[in-house]
Structure 1
Amino acid sequence: MGALCCKPEAIDFDGEVNLFHFVLLRSVGKGAFGKVRVVQHKQTKEIYALKYINKAKCVKMKAVANIIQERRLLEEIDHPFVVNLRYAFQDDENCFFVLDLMLGGDLRFHLERQGSISEAAVRLWIAEVSSALAFLHDKKIVHRDLKPDNILLDEGGHAHITDLNIAVHYSDRRLLTGVAGSMAYMAPEVLNKKGYTFTIDWWSLGVCAYELIFGRRPFRGKTNSDLSHAIVRDPLKFPEDADMKCSKEGISFLLGLLERDPTKRLGCRRDRFSDVQRHPWFASIDWDTLDEKSVTPPYIPDPKKANFDATHELEELLLEDNPLKARKRNPNQDVNTLSKEMQQMEEQFTTYDFKAMQRRSYYPQNHTVSTVTATSSSRPGTPGTPAPDTYQVRSDDAYAPPPPPPLPMTPMGGSKEKFDNVPTALCESAKPRVKSRRI
């Protein structure tokens, strides 16, 4: 008798999204309890960033509420300068976020590679991030962890905010009090513990802009206590060669953002975002067309280079005992036997599919929909992950554009995976994996 051929099991693309819908490519990031990989959707061939978080580690680090909150906030957001959520789902081991892929890397990576960045490039990035912040603040969302690590570039050099892990809704009636974020970028009102709202994001933006232009942060200290004292009390100083790296208008802009009194801070006064837009430093910015990304940025990442730390891929290949792969859920699992935190994730980290949401928005409520898929705006970079100095939130803090017309769905042919339109640098993990030992 001849040997039987193992035919791959058919994938149900009409059912709920899961990891079987994606091809796993390179590992490009690692955080405190989550990792980031590049993936390609097997049906649409679109590439995304997959952020996955181990549930057990999440429970151990008491971050369950943060993960669920990030999942809920991302569903409210769709903006040209935000790393937007496209899919969310879970299996027995991990929670998954499928996000816009940013091929240009994060600003921390470029800052460390270059030392400092030209004022022209920083001006455009700050304008784009300002637009995203204004959008979040209109939604009553404060990011709370804005820093170069959490600003990603797409392949065209445009900036996007990512990582809403400690973002929260705020209210003008009840101020937030939790000490959350990365200390070097915290506003004085966070450290003073007198309560705050959206104003802290504009301070953090000022620290980012200062660091990108001058290659150093405006306030420093050898210990957390020294750093906190510097942020709250030390005068703002500029390097001796500041006039060679930054214009007078740029200095004025930095002074406006790094104003300790939030009622006088740029972006926080009566006119809020309009105040930022009118600043002389942005005289060359066309705010009416900024969101269209029609302007060519002064700095564009080299597409021939991997704009991320390549050691993440090496660690995944050599040191990971339990490499990521698609696994079916245990049908016999009794949710009642799980811990309270695990039950919370099971119930509240719900599945999200942006194409299904588009279809529901596009068609009338009682309209019969055939099997279709919609085009999406793939804003190609990798999502950032929390840095070691990130402070977790305390427990007391607890514009969608019209969808495009749907197009007929093109089924995949054959049993072999196809990697259409995927840069070669992202496909390393698609190669056969050699079994290796921990070293």
Structure 2
Amino acid sequence: MGARCAKRRRHQEGDKPCLAHFSVIRSIGRGAFGKVCIVQHRSSHKLYAMKYMSKERCIRQNMADNVLKELSIVTTLDHPFIVNLQSSFQDARYMYIVSDLLLGGDLRFHLNQHGIFREDRSKLYLCEIALAVDYLHSRSIVHRDIKPDNIILDEKGHAHLTDFNLATRLEPDKLATSFSGTRVYMAPELFSTCNGSTPGYDHRIDWYSLGATLHEMLRGRPPHQLPSSLNSHQVLMIQHESPLELPSEWSSDLISFVSLLLAFSPQSRLSSLDSIKKHPYCTRIDFAWIQSRRAAPSFVPSQHCLNCDPMYEIEERVVVSTPIHDRRGRGRKSSKGASSEVETAALEALSTSFIEYKRITHE
């Protein structure tokens, strides 16, 4: 037994990543077809976040192409304010995505805890995510789902953009047309594309979403309430006709800045890092200093607790108490019986198309 354990621990650095290289510490989240765990690399003892997804569930929910598309994007990214991919690998039943571990909690959790943020705190988050968005746009990538839920803090309090499930890469001189995003953070041109009044949209939708996120950080709510019962025409009417209710005690520069980020027309919107830098609200900010991560956040997350909803951990312990390694090795049959020939072919295609990636280096 000891020899077998020793053999398991001797991983060569040139080896392809696999589940045996990691020890699972705890579960921290879950989605429709996968879960997220904190894992520790057995050789380096470094901690990472690992998302593992059922291939079968992805196929049955028609999400396999989304997973592959997201992976094709995140394997190309490396930025201090993005949650960067570290490795990806697969086995017969699951896909594994290993990324930076950030334990500071997402902005949705902190907004739920505090209601609103101070202006200096919000401004730093805005600048850090603006740098990340500019980096994405320089690579023709549109995130399409910027919101507090998708901005995570590290242990020092710096903000990082995550979740590229809806991201797309724009071809030169092409517009995106799919209706993607989270309703209250979506730019008007997404709705006008949906109802056919405009041919599509481009990267400028991300700046609107960032403006909506800034509004929520400062006001405790998005700029407009847009219930799902409203159709696209009604949403556009609200976005165009309903004035932003911005506090009179805000500085004129802040009011102007938020208003321009949330401009109805993309032509009138602040829609580049350069235009943000030139606005009076940001002219005194040293973005190179922020890029270097030397700007000290005014808020540092607690390091004595998990900065997320504690109910998940309780539910996970009740529902699943078996370690991930044991579950992966059981060869459990599908709850819906044997896969059809179509599903089998889809599984084979997914396994063939899956991108296996390794960024992790252990000195």
TM-score, L = length of structure 1:
0.74
Structure-1 residue corresponding to 2:8: 10
User: Is 1:49 aligned to 2:49, yes or no?
Assistant: yes
Hey, what does 2:127 align to over in structure 1?
Answer: 127
1:213 aligns with 2:211: no
Contact 1:52 1:97 in 2 (8 A): yes
Taking every aligned residue pair, what percent have the same amino acid on both sides?
35
* 1:72-115 Cα shifts (integer Å, max 9, x gaps): 10111000000000010112222111111111110000001111
Q: Secondary structure at the match of 1:127?
A: helix
Aligned pairs for 1:423-434 (under 5 A) are none
Q: How does 1:307-326 map to 2 (within 5 A)?
A: 307-320=307-320, 324-325=324-325
The 5 A counterparts of 1:2-401 are 7-8=4-5, 9-11=7-9, 13-14=11-12, 15-193=15-193, 194=198, 195-225=200-230, 228-229=235-236, 232-239=239-246, 242-244=247-249, 246-267=250-271, 272-320=272-320, 324-325=324-325, 327=328, 339-355=344-360, 373-374=361-362
**Post-superposition offset of 1:235:** 2.4
Q: Is the 8 A contact 2:215 2:258 kept in 1?
A: yes
Could you tell me which residue of structure 1 aligns to residue 334 of structure 2? Answer: none
Which segment is superposed worse, 247-256 or 153-162?
Answer: 247-256
Q: Deviations over 1:167-203 (max 9, x none)?
A: 0101342211100111111111111112011011001
SS across alignment from 2:208 = helix
Q: Tell me the amino acid that sits aligned with residue 251 of structure 2.
A: S
- Aligned partners of 2:58, 2:82: CA distance in 1, in Å? 24
Code of the residue aligned with 1:202 in structure 2: it is: W
| Letter in structure 1 aligned against 2:70 | E
Could you list the runs of 4 or more consecutive aligned residues of structure 1 that deviate by over 6 angstroms after TM superposition?
Answer: none
CA contact (8 A) 2:24 2:323 kept: no
Tell which has more relative contact order, 1 or 2 (C-alpha 8 A, sep 6+): 1
Report deviation, 1:229: 4.1
CA contact (8 A) 1:147 1:185 kept: yes
Shift of 1:309: 1.5
Distance 1:61 1:323, change over 3 A: farther
Distance 1:238 1:59 in 2: 44
SS across alignment from 1:280: coil
Q: SS of the residue aligned with 1:264?
A: coil
Structure 2 residue runs without a partner (length 5+):
332-340
Distance change (3 Å), C-alpha of 1:106 and 1:186: same
Q: State which drifts further: 163-172 or 122-131.
A: 163-172
Letter in 2 for 1:165: N
Q: CA deviation at 1:37?
A: 1.1
Distance 2:136 2:229 in 1: 29
> Contact conserved, 1:91 with 1:329, CA < 8 A, in 2?
no
Contact 1:103 1:153 in 2 (8 A): yes
Q: Aligned partners of 2:280, 2:94: CA distance in 1, in Å?
A: 47
Which structure has the highest helix share of the two? 2
Aligned-CA RMSD value = 2.3
- Provide the rounded CA distance (Å) in 1 between the counterparts of 2:243 and 2:148: 20
Shift of the alpha carbon at 1:119? Answer: 0.8
Does the 8 Å contact 2:183/2:226 carry over to 1? Answer: no
Q: Quote the offset at 1:281 in angstroms.
A: 1.7
The answer to whether the 8 A contact 1:183-1:228 is kept is no
SS, match of residue 105 in structure 1: coil
Deviations 1:332-363 (A, max 9, x none): xxxx98533312220111211104xxxxxxxx
In the alignment of these two chains, the number of paired residues is 344
Aligned to 1:249, the other structure's residue is in SS state helix
1:151–1:162: 8 Å Cα contact kept in structure 2?
yes
Query: Does structure 2 retain, via aligned residues, the 8 Å contact 1:106–1:153?
Result: yes
CA distance in 2, matches of 1:153, 1:318: 28
Unaligned 5+ residue runs, structure 1?
Answer: 331-335, 356-372, 375-406, 408-439
Superposed CA deviations along residues 216-260 of structure 1, whole A, max 9, x for unmatched, are: 111113434167245543323215xx234x432221111111111
- Cα distance between partner residues in 2 of 1:140 and 1:5: 51
Contact preservation (8 Å) 2:9, 2:42: no
Deviations 1:34-83 (A, max 9, x none): 22111111111111111121212211211111100111101110000000
**Distance of aligned partners of 1:142 and 1:222 in 2 relative to their CA distance in 1, 3 Å threshold:** closer
* 1:233/1:337 CA distance change after superposition, 3 Å: closer
Q: CA deviation at 1:322?
A: 6.8
